[in-house]
Chain A
Amino acid sequence: MPGWTAPAQPAEKEPPPLIVSALTGDYRKNGAAVRNAFKFISAAARHSVVQLSVDGKAVALGTVVEAAGLVATKASELVPGKLTARLADERVVDARILAVDEDNDLALLKIEAKGLTAVLWNDGETAPGEWVATQGLATVPEAVGIISGIPRKILPPRALIGVNFAGDGELPRVLALAAGSGAEQAGIKPGDVILSVDEKAVQTKTELTTLLREFRAGRVIKLQLQRGADVIETSVALTAEAVVNAAQAQTAAPGGRGGRGGANGRNFTGTRVSKRAEDFDLVLQHDTVLEPWECGGPLLDLYGRAVGLNIARAGRVASYALPSVLVQKIIADLKTRAARAE
């Protein structure tokens, strides 16, 4: 049988092929050998982390913010069920939600444990290139990475009026309407050219989509259209992208390649993305590869202080953390709210 041989004779003196080996996993950026160098910060910081489970299934990490049992985490991962927290010392205790900040997807929990170690916050500015470690309960971080850029706002999921534009031309000329979309209900017709949005003139498709990007679903906008020789005014309600796409079924959505894409568009590479991965006031983007259930815990610098709290796995290249200053402000608000409620 050509093509394969018995185990090579040890006498074979042929030089090895040029380059075919690969760096073994342990020595890659997130490999065990590299993460092991972070053990010096993990030793203390792991005691400021809890692992949260619902009905025994791990859903998120949590960040200890007060020794008396206050923990902050990512709210949208806390599905209904029995919520428990595992500590670094192996204890498993009950946990309950005190208050939730929907805007930033942050929940404040009370866990049935005292004498905990609150995380140390680093309120300074971060710079691209700084190491960040996502700490779990283990003696080394779950994963490590670097800060990828300057803090920024993450816009809400795209809202659409529900039209496809024609061909390659730059004019925002309507080609087709998505069934059940705001555009259809408003009586927009194929061939119409959109002239302005809320009195603001638009000349190109790009200008138009950039403008629409600022609005959330549900918002009603005023459109001026050119239809033949007529100029028509109408009002259109924006629909969430996912809703439009679902209704549109076979038809491609506007935007397309090169744009931001929706939560689906960015993540064709096998990455599991958090359910809530958009619409945050301010985030630090880092390149750490996280699973959605590794969010909620502290994001540490090389001093073992938290520069933020992991709030979302957002795609192949990005995880987001709420910066420490913002987290502390939200926690203060949530404490006030929880106290009022009790």
Chain B
Amino acid sequence: MRTLRERVVSAAFRPFAWALLLAFPVAVIAAETPVVAASPAGPAIPVPPKVAPGQRLAAVFRKPAPTTITELRTIETRVKLIVAQVSPAVVAVTLRGGAISGSAVVISADGLVLSAAHVGGTPDRDVVFTFPDGRTAKGKTLGTDHGMDAGLMQITDAGPWPFAPVGDLTGARLSDWVVALGHPGGFEAQRPVVARLGRIIMMTPKTMQTDCIILSGDSGGPLFDMSGRVIGIHSSISTEAEQNFHVPITAFLATWTRLARSENWGTPAIAAGGRGRGGRDAGATGSVVPGGVRIDTVNQTGRAQRVMLQPGDVVLKFNGQGVASPADFLAQLAATEEKLTVTIKRGDRELDLQYTPNSGRGGRGGAAP
């Protein structure tokens, strides 16, 4: 039953997955760096944002889980502060007279805005930004990296604008607490910005997964770390509540020059048949059985087939770690960019299936048993 439901919902969701999230800008509070450098030839090219340092955080933020009410209160105080400080920089984005809407975050006083590539679409389009206080501003899309789903925008009306600081992922790790802001379902005047709390569940160079639950309309909205810095941009979701995918901030920093020069490149990963961002389809369905996840179906095009999973296999481990649910396992399988090992039980034999992405068919041709 569960599997069927997942499959049906997943199919219905696909057309939406890519269209869900909104633009995200970051408001920088501290940096005094000039955001726009005059270039001798042609228009000014925005310089990269200065990465704000992470703050020293209370011990509970490094614990696997809070254990007391006092520790919960420490987290709460921090989250409230961050939401209050950065919400003014979170904007709704509309293009084509409202036909496309998403979220974004302002990251400089003069109006640089981070969002998702699938919100802006292509460079040099007209955009309207709506701030939580109701103010609106006109702007343009700059560069878009469709492969990573990173998009840069610029407010063209005169500032200064509220903005949020940009972070990096240097100290980030699984279990870090994070806050998602944005406009799920689209902008609503009576509901300025919607806050959601979660933790980092998975990170690869291409995507971050959290359990901050996001929805269409959130696309392009910001993910904040506990220092109140933008570390991700909402990109896509899959069926489970804990499958929320964000563009890592590093994607913006690594290709800043191209984004700032309004280049347009890359192919949406999700176009390959999207189960989530990073988001190739693993091409399989599964159900929970004691000790692991049983593979129910394997299609002919997904990674599951290339890894040589077969219906009836029970997945025990993924890279040595237990698997929590079919959805988690399939998301990990689809998103992993490194050599991977799937430990399965087939019949009464336990096997390690090894696979190296982009190496062509099959695994690494290890010796047959």
- State the A residues within 8 Å of B (CB): 1-8, 16-31, 33-34, 36-38, 40-41, 127-131, 145-150, 152-153, 168, 170, 204, 206, 257-261, 266, 268-271, 285, 287, 289, 302, 315-318
Q: Beyond A4-B363, A148-B195, list 15 extra A-B contacts (CB 8 Å).
A: A2-B362, A3-B365, A5-B366, A7-B351, A20-B321, A20-B336, A21-B318, A21-B320, A33-B64, A37-B69, A149-B192, A260-B188, A270-B9, A316-B237, A317-B184
- Count of chain A to chain B residue pairs whose CB atoms are closer than 8 Å in the complex: 243
- A149 touching B319 in the complex, CB below 8 Å, given contacts A5-B369, A36-B67, A316-B241: no
Chain B residues, Cβ within 8 Å of A19: 202-205, 338
Interface size (B, Cβ < 8 Å)? 100
Q: Mark B62-96, 1 if CB is under 8 A from A, else 0.
A: 00111111011101100111111001000000101
Chain A residue with Cβ nearest B66: A37
Q: Is the CB of B194 within 8 A of A170?
A: no
Evaluate contact between A6 and B9: CB separation under 8 angstroms: no
Given contacts A4-B308, A38-B72, A268-B12, contact A149 B338 (CB under 8 A): no
Interface flag for B159 (CB, 8 Å):
no
Chain B 176-220: CB-based contact to A (< 8 A → 1; otherwise 0)? 000100001110101111111111111111000101111111100
A258 to B186, Cβ gap below 8 A? yes
Binds A, one of B252-260, B279-287, B352-360: B352-360
Binding site for A on B (CB under 8 A): 5-6, 9, 12-13, 16, 19, 64-69, 71-73, 75-76, 79-84, 87, 94, 96-101, 174-175, 179, 184-186, 188, 190-205, 209, 211-218, 237, 239-242, 307-308, 318-322, 324-325, 328, 332, 336-341, 350-355, 361-363, 365-369
- A36-B65, A41-B69, A131-B76 known; A287+B324 contact, CB < 8 A: no
Q: How distant is the Cα of A318 from the Cα of B204 in the complex, in angstroms?
A: 28
Give bound CA distance, A33 to B67, whole Å. Answer: 8
Most chain A beta-carbon contacts within 10 A, residue among B84, B94, B218, B366: B366
Q: In the complex, what residues of B have CB within 8 A of residue A27's CB?
A: 64-65, 175, 199
A31 to B328, CA, bound (A): 14
CB of A25, distance to nearest CB on chain B (Å): 5
- Is the beta-carbon distance between A316 and B215 smaller than 8 angstroms? yes
Q: Are A302 and B76 in contact (CB under 8 A)?
A: yes
Which of B12, B190, B201, B308 lies in contact with A152, CB distance below 8 A? B190
Bound-state Cα–Cα, A16 to B75, Å: 33
Q: Bound complex: CA of A315 vs CA of B214, how far in Å?
A: 11
* CB contact under 8 A between A29 and B174, given known A289-B241, A317-B215: no
Shortest C-beta distance, A245 to chain B (Å), equals 16
Nearest Cβ on chain A to B81's Cβ, whole angstroms = 8
A12, chain B: closest CB distance, angstroms: 10
A7 to B354, CA, bound (A): 11
With most chain B CB atoms within 10 A of its CB, the pick from A21, A36, A127 is: A21
* Cβ-defined contact, A146 with B351, below 8 A: no
* Most chain A CB inside 10 Å of its own CB: which residue of B6, B325, B328: B328
Please determine whether B340 and A29 come into contact, CB atoms closer than 8 angstroms: no
Could you pull out 25 A-B pairs where Cβ atoms are within 8 angstroms? A2-B361, A3-B362, A3-B365, A8-B352, A22-B209, A24-B322, A27-B64, A27-B175, A27-B199, A28-B199, A28-B201, A31-B65, A129-B79, A131-B72, A148-B194, A149-B191, A149-B192, A168-B96, A170-B97, A258-B101, A260-B188, A266-B185, A268-B13, A285-B194, A315-B185
With A129-B76, A149-B191 already in contact, the answer to whether A29 and B198 are too (CB < 8 A) is yes
Given A38-B72, A148-B194, A149-B193, do A4 and B352 touch, yes or no (CB 8 Å)?
A: yes
Complexed CA–CA distance, A150 and B65 (Å): 28
Cβ of B202 and Cβ of A23 under 8 Å apart? yes
CA distance A34 to B321 in the complex (A): 21
> Considering the complex of A and B, which 7 residue pairs feature the smallest CB-CB distances, nearest first?
A5-B366, A129-B80, A6-B369, A3-B362, A33-B65, A17-B338, A129-B79
Cβ contact within 8 Å between A287 and B196 = yes
